[in-house]
Amino acid sequence: MSRLNEVYYVACGNSYEEQMRLSINKKSDGYFFYGEIAKEGEPIFFEPSFQERNKKLGIASVKTDVMFDGPSFVVNNNIKKELDKYDLHGIQLCPAIVIESTGWDEGYWYLNIYQYLDCWDKDKSITRPLKAGRDIEDTKVLKYHLDKSVLNKIPENNRMIFKMGGGFYSHIFIHEKLVTYFLKNNITGIRFFKVSDFEEGMQI
C-alpha cells in the first residue's frame, strides 16, 4: 500500500444538527462563483444555513473554528496563519464575514479551492461500475488509493490541501502535518478520515 494513503486524510464537517453550516449571503451573489475569484481581497459574505428550519425545530446553531459551506469551508484567523506557512496551489484564502442576527463576525477566511487534482489510482481504487455511455468523471469512487506517480511530481508544500478531481465526488484531502495541527489545537467543526480507512458514506 502506498504511504500516501497513510499521510492524507479526507476532511468533512461535523454531522450533528447543531453544527452551524454556511450559505452564501446575497451580498456576495454578484461575484462569487465556482472558480478563481477575480476580486481577490474583497470579503465573501456568508450566513447560517437552515435558519427558518432550525428556528421551528428549536435548534441553536453552534459556531466553530471551521465551518463548511458545501464546496469548501471557512477557518478562523489562527488557522489561516498556519495555512499561510504553505504555498497551497489552486487555493485562495479570502476574507469571510458571517452575518448573523446578532451581528457580523469578521474573524474567518474562506478556502476557495478553484483547482481540482485528479490523483486517484484508476486501477487500485474501488469504484462503482460506470454505466454505459457515462464519462470517467462520473465515476463514484467508494475507496480511494492515491496515485503516487501524480502526487510525487508535486512538491509537498504545494499539496497540503487539495480537492479530488476526475470523479463524481470531490472530497477535500488534507496532509497529516496539517491534521496534526488541527488535532493538537483542538480545532472544532471538522473531522478527518485517513485515506487507507475511508470508505464512501463514512462521513454521513
Closest residue by Cα to residue 172 from 46, 97, 83: 83
Q: 178 vs 70, which has greater pLDDT?
A: 178
Tens digits of residue pLDDT in 161-176: 999 999 999 999 999 9
Question: For residue 113, what pLDDT is reported?
Answer: 95
The C-alpha cell at 21 is 453550516
Q: Would you place residue 1 in the very low, low, confident or very high pLDDT band (cuts 50, 70, 90)?
A: low
Tens digits of residue pLDDT in 125-168: 999 988 887 888 899 999 999 999 999 999 999 999 999 999 99
Q: Which residue has the cell 506517480?
A: 149
What is the DSSP pairing of strand 66-68 with strand 73-76?
Answer: antiparallel
Question: For residue 36, what pLDDT is reported?
Answer: 82
Contact 10, 197 (CB under 8 A): no
Would you call 72 exposed, middle or buried from its count of C-beta atoms within 10 A (0-12, 13-18, 19+)? buried
The C-alpha cell at 172 is 477535500
Its pTM stands at 0.93
Closest residue by Cα to residue 161 from 102, 101, 63, 89: 89
pLDDT at 32 over 60: no
Rounded to whole angstroms, the Cα distance separating 40 from 93 reads: 9
Question: For residue 149, what pLDDT is reported?
Answer: 98
Q: Mean pLDDT of all residues in the chain?
A: 94
Rounded to whole angstroms, the Cα distance separating 11 from 162 reads: 10
Tens digits of residue pLDDT in 104-113: 999 999 999 9
Mean pLDDT, range 179-197, rounded to an integer: 99
